[in-house]
Structures are given as structure tokens and as C-alpha cells.
Amino acid sequence: MQLYHHPCSLNSQKVRLALEEKGVDYTSFHVNPILGKNMDSSFFRMNTSAKLPVFKNGSHIIFDTIETILYIERIAVVSVGNDSFSNQEVIEWMQKIQQWNPKYFTLLHIPDKHRLYVSKFIRKVVIARMAESPDLASAYHSKLREAYETEEKLKNADLVKRSTESLVQLLDEVETKLNDTTYIVGDEFTMADATFVPVLARLVLLGLEDEYISCRPNIADYWGLVQQRPTYKKVIGKYFNGWRKEKTLIKTWCSLHIRNLLKRY
């Protein structure tokens, strides 16, 4: 089994937490979307949406995050004898959490000069890959158009407002749910938590912990609790706790600058 992912990808974090919580063995392949590695033809032929993560088990390839997590649960029964499956309430919470798209919210909170620098670099990568693989030109052109459309959508105040409101509604619902439980669905960590924890990690990464987490006492306690889990430390903490965040981001930023300087798209 192979997982194509990256530590910065929120959905990748969700799937990796599921894999680690269920004890399923897998081979890890880093695909850095900030450097345009998800546009390399070898990956793009497998997944023309270029989105992460991609889970592959033999000839079976899954792109959808929730579908991947539920598939991992089924694998765990055979590979490690873990017969704990997500019940309907857990699945409903996973779907509710997954409905919030972090893309525009995240981009909104990145300084314009950095966001535009990366966006311009990615467009150059797409054009270069299009020239290398003309048989994929149509799919690459679609990604190029998507990049331009994203910049236009960020100018839409209503879209950005709806994304923020959707996040606030989700956090408020979880805050209320945690009045009666330790985790989102009961007193045991479930796949609903594996889906939600990366959302909190993203808010902390963007420097928004005080605005969205600390002001909600139940979620603040929950956040402190889940950070102690070995799976969190391996999947997220290893890259983003304390000085590790600077190391992860600086490493990517330096690679981006060097490739751009050398015109190695």
C-alpha cells in the first residue's frame, strides 16, 4: 500500500492520522504541492485533479478522503485485527467536517506577495509539464485555468465570508458537542477526530489559535489533549510543533526560490 501525500496537505494529515491510529503499514511518498510536484507527469497520470492525498493498494486507487479512511478501517481488520468500524454518527461528523473547504480560507491568510509568488511558480510548472507531456495538455490546461480562477475568486468577498462563516459554524457545533464528551463522538478517539484535528492544526499554523481555538474552552482543552497522542506527534507535530514549523516552511521556501532562480520548473 502506498500513500502519496505531504505534511502541509490538510487532507493528507487526515488520512495519515487514520493509518497511524489503525496501525496499518504503508509506504510513504512525499509530493510537495507548493513545489508543483503534484504536477509531475508520473503523479498527474494517476490523478489529473493533482489533489492530495492519493491512496493506492495494488490496482485500487482512492482519491476521496473519507472513502480512503473508511477503506483503511476495512484493511485494519485483515492486517492488524482491528475490527472497530466507524458508526453512522462518526461518518456523519466526518462528512460535516469535510464539507468545510480550507482552500480559500488558507489562501486568504497568506500574505499576498507570498501567495502570488507561489501561484506564479505553479503556473510555470504546469506550462513546463504541458510541453513535456503533450498527451496530457488538456488536463494541464484545466489546472492552469483553475489557478487563474482561484486568484479571481479570492477577490470575491462573499466567497471568503462564506468560508469563514462555515468554519465558525463547524467549530461552534464541535464546541457544543464537547460539553458532554471527551472526543467528538464519545470518550474514545474516532475517525471523526482524525478528520477534525488537522483543521485545528491548520488554524494554529496560520496563527489563528487565539481567534478560533482559545476562545472556545472545550475545543481548547480538546486541542491540548489530542496533541499528546503519539499519532499526532508523528503526523503533524513532527513538522509543525515549535521550531519544527519554521524548519518545514523554510526548507520548502528555500527550495522554491532556488528552483525559480535556476528556472527549474
Q: In this structure, what DSSP letter does residue 234 have?
A: I
pLDDT computed for residue 160 by the predictor: 82
Give the pLDDT band (50/70/90) at residue 255: very high
Q: How far apart are CA 207 and CA 112, in angstroms?
A: 16
Domain residue limits at 47: 2-262
pLDDT computed for residue 166 by the predictor: 96
- Rounded to an integer, the average pLDDT of 59-65 is 94
Q: What is the pLDDT of residues 146-200, one digit of tens each?
A: 999 998 999 888 888 899 999 999 999 999 999 999 999 999 999 999 999 999 9
pTM (2 d.p.): 0.94
pLDDT computed for residue 79 by the predictor: 76
Q: Which helix (H) or strand (E) holds 7?
A: none
How does strand 54-57 pair with strand 60-62? antiparallel
Per cent of the chain over pLDDT 70 is 99
pLDDT computed for residue 205 by the predictor: 94
Which of 241, 219, 235, 237 lies closest to 22 in space, CA to CA? 235
- Give the CATH number of the domain where residue 47 resides: 1.20.1050.130
Q: What is the pLDDT of residues 120-133, one digit of tens each?
A: 999 999 999 999 99
Q: Which helix (H) or strand (E) holds 80?
A: none
For residue 246, pLDDT beyond 90? no
Pinpoint the alpha helices (H) of the chain. 10-22, 41-44, 65-79, 88-98, 102-108, 112-132, 137-153, 157-177, 191-205, 209, 217-226, 230-232, 238-240, 243-261
pLDDT computed for residue 163 by the predictor: 92
pLDDT computed for residue 179 by the predictor: 96
Q: How far apart are CA 236 and CA 116, in angstroms?
A: 26
Which of 59, 44, 165, 47 lies closest to 104 in space, CA to CA? 165
The x, y and z cell numbers of residue 210, run together, are: 487565539
pLDDT computed for residue 175 by the predictor: 98
For residue 85, pLDDT beyond 90? no
Q: How far is CA 22 from CA 58, 136, 194, in A?
A: 20, 37, 11
Other beta carbons within 10 Å of 129: 20
pLDDT computed for residue 30 by the predictor: 95
Q: How many domains does the chain have?
A: 1
For residue 114, pLDDT beyond 80? yes
- Rounded to an integer, the average pLDDT of 239-265 is 89
Give the pLDDT band (50/70/90) at residue 242: confident
Q: In this structure, what DSSP letter does residue 40 have?
A: S
pLDDT computed for residue 244 by the predictor: 86
For residue 80, pLDDT beyond 90? no
The mean pLDDT value of the chain amounts to 94
Q: What is the pLDDT of residues 220-238, one digit of tens each?
A: 999 999 999 999 999 999 9
pLDDT computed for residue 84 by the predictor: 77
Q: How far apart are CA 221 and CA 219, in angstroms?
A: 5
